[in-house]
Amino acid sequence: MGSGSVEALMNTLEALIDEEIHLTDFRLSSVGQGRDALAEVHIKMTVNNSTVSGHGSVQDVLAASAKAFLNAVNRVFFNQKALIQEPVL
C-alpha cells in the first residue's frame, strides 16, 4: 500500500461514495513523449462485490487517476440503473 498523492486521491474518492469499494489493480503508463505525453491510467475495482474497470487519460497523473476511478464507478451506477428500469411497452 502506497502513501502518496494517488493513494490519498483514491481514499478521498472512496470516502465520498456510499458503496463498498476495493481497488484491486492500478496501472499507469505514458502515451507519447516529452511534455506532451499523456498519463494513462487503467484500474480495476470491486464495487459492492461487482468487478469493474475504468480508464482515464490526460496530461496529469492525478486527473487521469480520478477519471479512471469515476469511469469505473459510473459503469456500476449505469448498470444498476439499466437493471432497475422497466421495459417500455
Domain extent listing, the chain: 5-84
Instruction: Decide if 38 contacts 55 (C-beta within 8 A).
Output: no
**Residue 38: left if φ>0, alpha if ψ -120 to 50, beta else—which one?**
beta
Could you read off the pLDDT of 15-24 as tens digits, one per residue? Answer: 998 889 999 9
Q: Do β-strands 21-31 and 50-58 pair in parallel, antiparallel, or remain unpaired?
A: unpaired
In angstroms, the CA 58 to CA 69 distance is 13
For 42-89, the pLDDT digits (tens) are 999 999 888 999 999 999 999 999 999 999 999 988 776 655 665 656
Q: Which superfamily does 5-84 belong to?
A: Alpha-isopropylmalate synthase LeuA, regulatory domain (3.30.160.270)
Global pTM reads 0.82
